[in-house]
Structure formats: structure tokens, C-alpha cells
Amino acid sequence: MDISKILKPEAVRVLGSMTSKKRLFQELGEVAASAYGLPAAVAIDGLQERESLGPTGVGHGIALPHARLEGLDRIVGLFFRLEKPMDFDSVDRQPVDLIFTLFAPKDSGVEHLKALALISRTMRDQQVCAKLRANQAPATIYAILTESRPQAAA
């Protein structure tokens, strides 16, 4: 599995700022609808439901919100870079500016976990994050995210 299989170029955005998680999830839902044809309300509800179990801010300015949805036939992703980091209740209490979101079919099980592990590995790479933060163009950010990297255990 590689990121180019789950992330479309049109699902990458650079945004100025977000005022709340609720507003961020609304924006993610709208992009999921336009890029993948997901019903925005279903995407938003899925993200909010998962977030209610515990925050998906994993530290170092990174959040990995994700949800399993009915009616989805494959794993899809979205990536947002925020110019102004926002509070995300992250484990390290640091604001978040890099947000990689995954939507997976309700019954995806292992594939969902593999996709999360791939995204987590990618986002733990400090060089990748530095490049993402240094670029404004969604096409460049997409290229950084999808460039092939050596596979390692999660």
C-alpha cells in the first residue's frame, strides 16, 4: 500500500486557520464530498464519533483523524496543512498544523490499520514534516506525501 493509492491531489489543501475541531471536520467533510463523493454529513459524523472516543492529535503538530463509514468501498485520505496551528487536544498539548484524515469502509479491519500505520510512519518522519510545513502549493505537498520511501515496520 502506498499513499498515492488513498490520497487524490484534489484532497490536499492549505488553509489559513481553523477556529475549532467542529469547523475543521466540516471542512474535511466538504472536501471528502467533492474529492470522493462521500456525503459530507456522514464524513463529519464519523469523524466526530471517532474523536469522542479520544483525541487523534498524536503530537508534534500532527493529527490523524479517521473514521469507518458505511457505503465506502475503499480507503481514502485527505491532507490539510494549516498556516496557523490550532488546538486539537493532542497528547503533547501542542497545536496541530498537519492533518492527515482517513476514511475506511466500516468492515475494513486490517486494511484500515495498515493504512493508519503507513500514514503514521510517514508523518513521524521529521524531514517529511519539515518539507510539508515549508510548502504552500497543494501539488507540491501531494508530491512530498506520495514520494516513495523505504518500507519499515510501524
User: What is the per-residue pLDDT for 40?
Assistant: 96
Task: Judge contact between 75 and 111, C-beta under 8 A.
Answer: yes
- What the block records as the C-alpha cell of 154 is 510501524
- What the block records as the C-alpha cell of 64 is 490523524
Residue 135 dihedral angles phi and psi, to the nearest 5°: -120, 145
Question: What tens digit of pLDDT does each residue of 22-51 get?
Answer: 999 999 999 999 999 999 999 999 999 999
CATH class of 3-146: alpha beta
Torsion, Cα 119 124 126 132, to 10 degrees, reads 30
Residue positions annotated with a catalytic role = 66
User: What is the per-residue pLDDT for 153?
Assistant: 46
User: What is the per-residue pLDDT for 151?
Assistant: 54
Question: What tens digit of pLDDT does each residue of 103-115 get?
Answer: 999 998 888 889 9
Where along the chain do its domains lie? Answer: 3-146
Q: Average pLDDT of 73-85?
A: 96
Q: Where are the alpha helices (DSSP H) in the chain?
A: 21-36, 40-51, 110-124, 126-134, 138-146
Which string of DSSP letters, residue by residue, matches 8-42?
EEEEEEEES--S-HHHHHHHHHHHHHHHH---HHH
**For residue 14, is pLDDT > 50?**
yes
Task: Judge contact between 115 and 1, C-beta under 8 A.
Answer: yes
**For residue 13, is pLDDT > 60?**
yes
Q: Which of 1-5, 21-25, 73-77 has the lowest mean pLDDT?
A: 1-5
**For residue 154, is pLDDT > 60?**
no
